[in-house]
Chains A and B, each alone.
Chain A
């Protein structure tokens, strides 16, 4: 039998050892982890334009992702009124680094609407020009978010990419996994012929107006509706900026 003091000594030494090992490992790998997170987020942005560029974002190497970001992408952050923010202003909103890639849209969604800030990525190479916007909304179980790429005209969708926190694999998670479903969005417009904002609708039972409606996912009505709501609301936030850019 062990005395109480022996038990205390054993537990204390054991805990200290474990804490030491884990904290060393955590600090040692932190750089790699942060880099992986950053590359993962950048790949999600490139995934929105991958169909137009003819690349497969998820298979790109870290250096290739960085290369595209350095050479072709300009990052901007706006407030809800459509004013361009300086990196210092973004940092004061709580995002170290001050770039659009540092903005956490899930964190922004918790703020009151008028105080949010909007990340925007302008892609430009010899042949293509896209604007990539970030949106956030609710799925069935938890938050969903996505990046939406627009053509030069600012109203035609060039590609989309979605992600989710906890949707059901095979049903709601199809918004991320199903490439064919995401391709439906290409060519849809968020501004109707009369110049009014229509947003995007995900329709149960099939799209009726090909300009701004897409098919839903059977068995995932709530998640699909969430995507439509997220896009219509989220893209509307950007309209002041888009209008300003045109005039």
Chain B
């Protein structure tokens, strides 16, 4: 307990370079999806549309942030022997709170996402940050790290969803952008009006998310060569 008090004295609630780095690193050089390659499963599942991806991103930011803060606040009293279980309980509690809240305020999104919201529990990013960061840092820094990683994940999610919804359904947030104007999405024979683009059904299916994420990782490393693994 004595250690906790010392640690509390050392932590300052400021926003300097170190704090900024905690927020921005996960967006670029330490991105959870493209660099750490975590949370891929959910990136495949919820990226068929921008709306679902956005709701998912917000939910994950909420969960990573609070899970980090709570774990960090408890880090000196959590018995090492059961720390994984305790972390899981914290994550599961937060995810259940998100699920119950969504069911009350955004029922349509809840209906579309229901299984995947529950699966945030298994999102490796959350547990990974608890183990790697929150168990060793104070609550304020952990909060910034949680927000940063949540947003870093959310950005990739939205990028993938943008490509998949636009080229798979010709829509963004459910609004028609390209493709034939008929609502019969799978009728690729129509060429009139905006129908110069035929929807690519592959983009709606899960494998396309793999290709898109692969392309994003490629582009990211081409743009930031320090990430390239030389081995």
What is A's interface to B at a CB cutoff of 8 Å? 1-2, 6-7, 10-11, 14-15, 18, 21-22, 25-26, 29, 32-33, 36, 39-40, 58, 168-171, 174, 177-181, 217-220
Q: Are A10 and B201 in contact (CB under 8 A)?
A: no
| CA distance in complex: A219, B96 (Å) | 36
Number of residues on chain B facing chain A (CB within 8 A): 30
At the interface, yes or no: B169 with Cβ under 8 Å from chain A?
yes
Contacts of A18 in B (CB 8 A): 89, 93
Contacts of A2 in B (CB 8 A): 79-81
Contacts of A170 in B (CB 8 A): 48, 168-169, 185, 201, 204-205
Q: Are B79 and A10 in contact (CB under 8 A)?
A: yes
Q: How far is the CB of A146 from chain B (nearest CB, A)?
A: 16
Q: Are A25 and B204 in contact (CB under 8 A)?
A: no
Q: Are B48 and A29 in contact (CB under 8 A)?
A: no
Contacts of B85 in A (CB 8 A): 11
Other-chain contact of B104, A1, A10, A33, A180 (Cβ < 8 Å): A33
Q: Are B184 and A36 in contact (CB under 8 A)?
A: no
What is B's interface to A at a CB cutoff of 8 Å? 48, 77-82, 85-86, 89, 93, 96-97, 100-101, 103-104, 107-108, 111, 168-169, 182-186, 201, 204-205
Other-chain contact of A26, B78, B100, B183, B186 (Cβ < 8 Å): B100
Contacts of B100 in A (CB 8 A): 22, 25-26, 29, 33
Q: Are B78 and A178 in contact (CB under 8 A)?
A: no
Contacts of B201 in A (CB 8 A): 170-171, 219
Q: Are B89 and A32 in contact (CB under 8 A)?
A: no
Other-chain contact of A180, B97, B183, B204 (Cβ < 8 Å): B183
Contacts of B86 in A (CB 8 A): 10-11, 14
| CA distance in complex: A73, B78 (Å) | 58
Q: Are B82 and A7 in contact (CB under 8 A)?
A: yes
Closest residue to A31 on the B side, CB-wise?
B104
Closest residue to A6 on the B side, CB-wise?
B79
Contacts of A1 in B (CB 8 A): 80
Among all A-B residue pairs, the 3 with the closest Cβ atoms: A170-B204, A180-B183, A2-B79
